[in-house]
Structure 1
Amino acid sequence: MNQNEADHIVMSVPAKPEYVGVIRLTVSGIANRAGFTYDEIEDMKIAVAEACTNVVTHAYEDSGSMSISYLLYEDRMEIIVADNGQSFDVSKVKEHLGPVDANRPVGDLKEGGLGLFLISTLMDKVEINDESGIVLVMTKFLHGDGVEQNVSGLGQTTQPEQ
């Protein structure tokens, strides 16, 4: 699989609190299969639960659905939560993404902003598109921070001279 190809898994569930646990379990299973550590998986579960809870709480007056996409690359997993429940073209959504600024004071964040702050501290990269509904893209890199392991021999151990 090259860097631009991904396995793409899509779910659409009712925007109801009882389905947030199902989504958490799905994230856990997919991330475990991809090779993430226990702590990384726990961070992803909290982040996706917070994103989905925001949809359940704020997106609809009556009822609606949410779409969750999981994109698995060699070096990362992207989790996309969209509140319109419609299928969407991932590449088109990504063209209009902007960063979530975790450095802004918590008091400046709008409703649901504390959840976005939490998500941005748990994930390696968080982007948002709010043109038609909210689309949140959360990225977690394998091996922590996305730094390639053993670049140019760094990190290799040698035996000390005796």
Structure 2
Amino acid sequence: MQHYDYIEIKIPAKNQYIGVARLMISGIASRLGFTYDDIEDLKIASSEAITNAVQHAYADDEEGEVVIGCAMYEEKLEIMIADHGSSFDFEETKKHIGPYKDASEERFLREGGLGLYLMETLMDEVKFHQEEGVTVFMTKHLGGERGESEDVQRTANS
């Protein structure tokens, strides 16, 4: 099993706290050595997922939470955003997350407009799990997509 550090925060499901989560993700990405452009991509993709949770997860009269978890590896950052409000086991949740399976799941994530498109475009991997709520799982590899740095090294050594 690969070693990683994990940070998790819970924010009220309110628009004014989305910036707090963006700041956390930005700080973690900076600490890991991501480029400015990659950090901006991480912030945009995360904002889309968090905004979707804030706007769609709870009824207007219902108090809710959004959980943001970040697993920091040497070569990547994995971000989980869950709207069910309870803390979760990172490894257990990761086992049950997969790509969307049918058009209704895809439509659910597309409700906010370009959200899913932006997440898929800006991140290296995007998966989600819909059960008690929605959990979005996004991965960004340090130095580009998986295998990209190996291809660049092979080209440079040729």
**TM-score bin (small chain):** 0.7 to 0.9
Distance 2:114 2:37 in 1: 21
Instruction: Tell me the amino acid that sits aligned with residue 86 of structure 2.
Output: Q
Q: Which runs of 5+ in 1 are unaligned?
A: none
- The CA deviation string for residues 60-104 of structure 1, in whole angstroms up to 9 with x for no partner, is 012200110000011100010000121101122112111148xx9
Aligned pair partner of 2:25 in 27, 38, 45: 27
- CA shift for structure 1 position 120: 0.9
Structure 2 alignment gaps of length 5 or more: none
Please point out which of 44, 50, 69 is paired with 2:48.
50
Number of residue pairs matched by the alignment: 151
Distance 1:150 1:95, change over 3 A: closer
Letter of the aligned partner of 1:140 in structure 2?
Answer: K
In structure 1, which of residues 35, 38, 59 is the aligned counterpart of residue 36 of structure 2? 38
In 2, are the aligned partners of 1:11 and 1:69 still within 8 Å (CA)? yes
* Worse overlay, 21-30 or 113-122: 113-122
2:123 is equivalent to residue 137 of structure 1: no
5 Å-filtered alignment, 1:4-153, equals 4-61=2-59, 62-100=62-100, 109-110=107-108, 111-112=111-112, 114-147=114-147, 149-150=149-150
Deviations 1:4-50 (A, max 9, x none): 11100010110100000111111111100101011000000001111
2:68 is aligned with what amino acid?
A: I
Identity of aligned residues (%): 46
Q: Which has the higher helix share?
A: 2
For the residues of structure 2 that align with 1:113 and 1:87, how far apart are their CA atoms?
28
Find the residue that maps to 2:85 and give its secondary structure: coil
Query: Aligned to 2:144, what secondary structure does the other structure show?
Result: coil
Query: Could you tell me how far apart the structure 2 residues matched to 1:34 and 1:75 are?
Result: 8
Deviation at 1:157, TM superposition (A): 4.3
